[in-house]
């Protein structure tokens, strides 16, 4: 099998910026609201959810966390409502969507009627609507254009949803401008979308099977699927490697891979890697019966893992500096002394024994020697934080050794985590010198 990845896949700049913003905030804060799904990808949403991102569909009643506006943006009225509640807004509206807000707002003020080409239920379209007083005609096909009652005495401004199908937009704008010269057309389809769609169709035209990766509710992924299907009948829309259409792929198949704007690189790489593995399975099982999926599952009797997974394994050997772990995968896992604990462990053989079960998190699927790189520090950190939370809930008093002092206060460690006593909390006496 020959696999080719489309030239333009993965997160677009707008989605990437929104996810990065959320990640940055969640480093500092334990809770962050997102008005609507930050990205149409379940794996990414789940991952951010573990860090404290809460998806909400309405403005929160309580002002107990910041509120992120996703790349689709929202209407002006929504922004105003949020501000009235004094909730801090983290605005991750994509700049290209903001540009559309500005266009419709200005044209609306200047007496134009607005036409939006897009999906009337899509949040981006609803957001645009909110910048032209919630008054606009929304169409998504030539048929809908024909049903539109246009008043030739009026002025119109037409914009598009950023992820709209470029071919359909072209047809709509050509038809409308022929019949109604009194219209100003702004092609606001995002370049990233255009490039992604063109590259996908080009790849589809030379592939036997096309795999389009992305959330089932991602509008731009669905469009890639529709466009690819027109040139390659065997086009499949999948969310992750579990849905690879095995039965359409054999050793001689040319497989093209494209992905929507909400699909992170690691999911794309995972699909490619798993598809490549099919070559090996084909070789191993040339004469065996069974579906590709069954063969895949039985491939070496191994489990499948990916970066970030928390897995359990059995210690095969221990040296003072590293632990080798059988993780029921094609390669063994390795935990170095540095990755074993935040605490100083001079010799790992004193704390870990062969045959012991050990839990760790996958950092990298392969180091230079082919081992799976594991860490226990992230698990230890989670446990330490929940212990500290408990101390706080109990109002516990803890003994610490001071490790540092500055003009602002004194510092020490609680269960290995650096803590801080502000200068004015050191003593009832005022203005104590921390040093
Ligand atoms: Fe923005 Fe284009 Fe992505 S509009 S959110 S960069 S698809």
pLDDT single digits (tens) 344-372: 889 999 999 999 999 999 888 877 677 88
Q: How far does the centroid of ligand 1 lie from the alpha carbon of residue 71, in Å?
A: 7
The string of pLDDT tens digits covering residues 242-254 is: 888 888 888 889 9
Least confident of 242-256, 278-292, 319-333: 278-292
Question: 289 pLDDT band (50/70/90 cuts)?
Answer: very low
- What's the pLDDT at 179? 85
List Cα–Cα distances, 277 to 115, 255, 273, in angstroms.
49, 13, 6
CA atoms of 54 and 45, how far apart (whole Å): 9
Least confident of 142-151, 301-310, 315-324, 361-370: 301-310
| Residue listed under structure tokens 């003072």 | 320
Cα-Cα-Cα-Cα torsion 233, 239, 243, 249, nearest 10 degrees, comes to: 40
- Residue whose Cα lies nearest atom 1 of ligand 1: it is 14
Q: Is 192 in the pocket of ligand 1 (CB under 6 A)?
A: yes
Question: 56 pLDDT band (50/70/90 cuts)?
Answer: very high
Question: 303 pLDDT band (50/70/90 cuts)?
Answer: low
- What's the pLDDT at 290? 45
- What's the pLDDT at 297? 47
pLDDT over 90 (residue 135): yes
- What's the pLDDT at 108? 96
Tell me what the mean pLDDT of segment 33-52 comes to: 88
Q: Is 53 in the pocket of ligand 1 (CB under 6 A)?
A: no
**What is the crossing angle of helices 95-109 and 13-28, to 10°?**
110
| Residue listed under structure tokens 């599952």 | 297
Mean pLDDT of the chain: 88
Share of the chain above pLDDT 90, in %: 53
- What's the pLDDT at 301? 41
Q: How far does the centroid of ligand 1 lie from the alpha carbon of residue 360, in Å?
A: 36
**Which backbone phi and psi does 419 adopt, to 5 degrees?**
-120, 170
pLDDT over 60 (residue 285): no
List Cα–Cα distances, 379 to 22, 28, 309, 394, 433, in angstroms.
22, 19, 11, 23, 38
- What's the pLDDT at 213? 95
pLDDT over 80 (residue 416): no
- Residue whose Cα lies nearest atom 5 of ligand 1: it is 14
The ligand 1 atom nearest the CA atom of 12: 3
Question: 300 pLDDT band (50/70/90 cuts)?
Answer: very low
pTM score > 0.85 for this model? no
Question: 406 pLDDT band (50/70/90 cuts)?
Answer: confident
Least confident of 31-35, 46-50, 306-310, 411-415: 306-310
Q: How far does the centroid of ligand 1 lie from the alpha carbon of residue 13, in Å?
A: 6
pLDDT higher at 117 or 379: 117
Q: Is 163 in the pocket of ligand 1 (CB under 6 A)?
A: yes
CA atoms of 80 and 82, how far apart (whole Å): 5
Q: How far does the centroid of ligand 1 lie from the alpha carbon of residue 190, in Å?
A: 6
How do 183-185 and 156-160 pair as beta strands?
Answer: parallel
The string of pLDDT tens digits covering residues 80-124 is: 999 999 999 999 999 999 999 999 999 999 999 999 999 999 999
Q: How far does the centroid of ligand 1 lie from the alpha carbon of residue 233, in Å?
A: 28
- What's the pLDDT at 418? 82
Q: Are residues 171 and 221 in contact, defined by beta-carbon separation less than 8 angstroms?
A: no
Q: Is 139 in the pocket of ligand 1 (CB under 6 A)?
A: no
- What's the pLDDT at 279? 63
- What's the pLDDT at 33? 95
The residues that are catalytic are 124
**Which backbone phi and psi does 75 adopt, to 5 degrees?**
-70, 160
CA atoms of 50 and 286, how far apart (whole Å): 43
Q: Is 325 in the pocket of ligand 1 (CB under 6 A)?
A: no
Best mutation site among 20, 68, 71 for ligand 1, i.e. most ligand atoms within 8 A of its Cβ? 71
CA neighbours within 13 Å on the CB side: how many for 116?
30
| Residue in 308, 227, 263 with CA at minimum distance from that of residue 40 | 263
pLDDT higher at 305 or 256: 256
Question: 386 pLDDT band (50/70/90 cuts)?
Answer: confident
CA atoms of 246 and 120, how far apart (whole Å): 36
Q: Is 311 in the pocket of ligand 1 (CB under 6 A)?
A: no
Q: Is 79 in the pocket of ligand 1 (CB under 6 A)?
A: no
């Amino acid at each position: 099998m020959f696999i080719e990845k489309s030239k333009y896949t993965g997160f677009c700049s707008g989605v990437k910026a929104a996810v990065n913003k959320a990640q940055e905030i969640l480093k500092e804060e334990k809770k962050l609201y997102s008005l609507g799904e930050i990205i149409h990808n379940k794996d990414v949403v789940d991952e951010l959810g573990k860090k404290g991102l809460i998806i909400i569909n309405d403005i929160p009643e309580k002002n107990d966390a910041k509120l992120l506006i996703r790349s689709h943006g929202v209407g002006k009225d929504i922004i105003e409502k949020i501000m009235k509640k004094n909730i801090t807004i983290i605005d991750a509206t994509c700049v290209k969507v903001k540009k559309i807000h500005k266009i419709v707002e200005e044209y609306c003020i200047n007496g134009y009627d607005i036409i939006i080409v897009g999906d009337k239920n899509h949040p981006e379209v609803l957001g645009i609507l909110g910048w032209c007083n919630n008054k606009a005609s929304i169409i998504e096909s030539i048929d809908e254009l024909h049903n539109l009652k246009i008043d030739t005495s009026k002025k119109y401004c037409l914009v598009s949803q950023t992820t709209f199908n470029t071919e359909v937009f072209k047809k709509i704008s050509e038809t409308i401008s022929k019949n109604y010269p009194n219209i100003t057309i702004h092609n606001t389809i995002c370049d990233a979308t255009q490039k992604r769609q063109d590259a996908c169709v080009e790849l589809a035209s030379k592939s036997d099977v096309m795999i389009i990766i992305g959330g089932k509710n991602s509008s731009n992924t669905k469009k890639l699927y529709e466009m690819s299907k027109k040139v390659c009948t065997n086009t499949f829309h999948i969310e992750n490697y579990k849905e690879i259409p095995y039965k359409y792929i054999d050793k001689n198949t040319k497989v093209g891979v494209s992905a929507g704007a909400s699909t992170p690189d690691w999911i794309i790489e995972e699909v490619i890697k798993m598809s490549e593995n099919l070559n090996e399975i084909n070789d191993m099982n040339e004469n065996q019966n069974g579906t590709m999926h069954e063969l895949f599952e039985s491939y070496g009797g191994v489990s499948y893992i990916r970066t970030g997974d928390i897995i359990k394994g059995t210690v095969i050997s221990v040296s003072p500096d590293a632990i080798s772990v059988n993780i029921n995968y094609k390669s063994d896992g390795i935990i170095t002394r540095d990755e074993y604990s935040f605490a100083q462990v001079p010799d790992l053989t004193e704390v870990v024994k062969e045959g012991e079960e050990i839990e760790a998190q996958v950092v990298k699927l392969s180091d230079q020697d082919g081992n799976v790189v594991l860490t226990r520090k992230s698990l230890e950190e989670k446990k330490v934080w929940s212990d500290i939370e408990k101390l706080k809930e109990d109002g516990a008093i803890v003994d610490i050794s001071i490790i540092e002092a500055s003009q602002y206060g004194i510092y020490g460690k609680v269960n290995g985590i650096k803590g801080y006593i502000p200068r004015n909390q050191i003593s009832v006496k005022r203005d104590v010198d921390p040093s």
